[in-house]
Amino acid sequence: MIPPVRPIELSDIEVARGNVADTVLRTPLVRLELGPDMPELWLKLENLQPTNAYKIRGASNAVAKLSDEERARGVWTISAGNAGQGVAYAARKAGISCSVVAIETAPQTKLDRMRALGATIVPVSYEQAWKAAEAHAFEGLDGTFIHPFDSHNFIAGHGTMGLEIVEQLPTVRTLITAIGGGGLITGVGSAVKALRPDTKVIGAEPETASPYAYSLAQGGPSKFDAWQASFVDGAGGQSVTARMWERMQPIVDGAITVTLDQTREAMRLIAEKTRTIAEGAGGLALAAALTGQAGEGPIVCVVSGGNIDLAKFSELIA
C-alpha cells in the first residue's frame, strides 16, 4: 500500500542529516562572479558528491530507514542514472542487494557506474519506467522499492541540502532547482522554507520537457504532450503525478522554462567558473537564473549533478 502524502517536517530533515552524515558531503556553495550587471548568484555544487549527484542524499536516508526485514529482501529503484547510483551506493555500503530499472537511453557513463556499484540493471523504455514510477511496482522485482522521487524518506534526505544552504548563505532570497519528478525541489524547498519562510523556491525545466510549468498553467497535474528526449536526461518528465503535485504545491512558488541553448551555456559557464562538470539537469537552475526572471538575489542555483559522458559534454559546450 502506498502511504499517503504528508509534509516534510524540519524534524524529518534533521533526523536525515544524522543518517547521511557518514556518506554525504557538505558540498561547497560558491559565488558566481559575472559582473556588476548580473544578479548575485551562488552555485550549490552537488556534482561533487561521491556519486556526482544529489540523489545520494535521499538514497542514503531511505536505506538507513529500512527495517531488518526490508533490508533482507534487497532494494530496487527506477532511474535514468543518478537515483540508481545513489541507491546502489547506499545499498552496497549497507551490504544489501540492489536492482535498478534503468531507462535504456541513459548515458553509458551512468549505466557503467551503476553496474560498478554492484547494481543489477533491468533496461526498459522511458514509458515503461514512468509507468513503474506511477504504479510503485515492476513485474519480476519483489525487493523493497525505494521510489526515486515520491518517497517521504528520500525527499527528507534531499532536505539536508537545504539546511546547508541556509547555514552557508543566511541571506538567501531565491532558491532554484531543476524539476524532474519533483523530489529535489520538495526536499530542499521544505528545509529552506522552514528556516527562511520568505525565500522564493522556483523550479527550472527545459522547454522540451516542462510538465510542471504546463501543469501550473492548467491548474492541476497534467501530461506534457510535447515531450521530447534531449541531453537533459536527469530532469523534465512527461507529466506531473497527482502525488507530487500535492507535495510541491505548498513549497514551490513558480517555474522557469529554459531553452536547450540556454542550458548548454549554463553548463559552459559552470565549467569555466568552477572547473567542475554539470550534466544537462545540473545546468538548468543557473540557466533559469540567467533569464532574469528570478530577480536580483542572492539566488542559490543547485547544480544537481555532473554525470554526463565526457565526449557528449565536450560536444555540447564547444
**Chain position carrying cell 542559490:** 300
Q: Binning pLDDT at 50, 70 and 90, where does residue 260 land?
A: very high
- pLDDT reading at 19 higher than 90: yes
Angle CA 124–128–129, to nearest 5: 75
Look at residue 80 in the predicted model and tell me its pLDDT: 79
H-helix or E-strand spanning residue 254: strand 254-258
The C-alpha cell that represents 50 in the structure block: 561521491
- pLDDT reading at 203 higher than 90: yes
CB-count exposure of residue 1 (10 Å: 0-12, 13-18, 19+): exposed
Work out the average pLDDT over 114-133: 90
Work out the average pLDDT over 246-256: 98
**Chain position carrying cell 558566481:** 32
pLDDT tens string 54-94: 999 999 999 999 999 999 999 999 987 889 999 999 999 99
Q: Binning pLDDT at 50, 70 and 90, where does residue 300 land?
A: very high
Look at residue 106 in the predicted model and tell me its pLDDT: 82
- pLDDT reading at 32 higher than 90: yes
Share of the chain above pLDDT 90, in %: 86
Domains and CATH numbers, the chain: 10-53+158-317 (3.40.50.1100), 56-145 (3.40.50.1100)
The structure's pTM equals: 0.95
Q: Where are the beta strands (DSSP E) in 114-206?
A: 120-124, 144-145, 174-178, 200-206
Look at residue 105 in the predicted model and tell me its pLDDT: 83
pLDDT tens string 165-201: 999 999 999 999 999 999 999 999 999 999 999 999 9
pLDDT tens string 35-56: 888 999 999 999 999 999 999 9
- pLDDT reading at 236 higher than 90: no
- Choose among 195, 245, 246, 201: nearest CA to 14: 195
Contact 26, 50 (CB under 8 A): no
Lowest average pLDDT, out of 112-121, 123-132, 210-219, goes to: 123-132
Contact 302, 162 (CB under 8 A): no
Look at residue 41 in the predicted model and tell me its pLDDT: 98
CB-count exposure of residue 116 (10 Å: 0-12, 13-18, 19+): exposed
Name every residue whose Cβ is closer than 8 Å to that of residue 174 and which is 6 or more positions away in sequence: 199, 200, 201, 202, 289, 294, 295, 297, 298, 299, 300
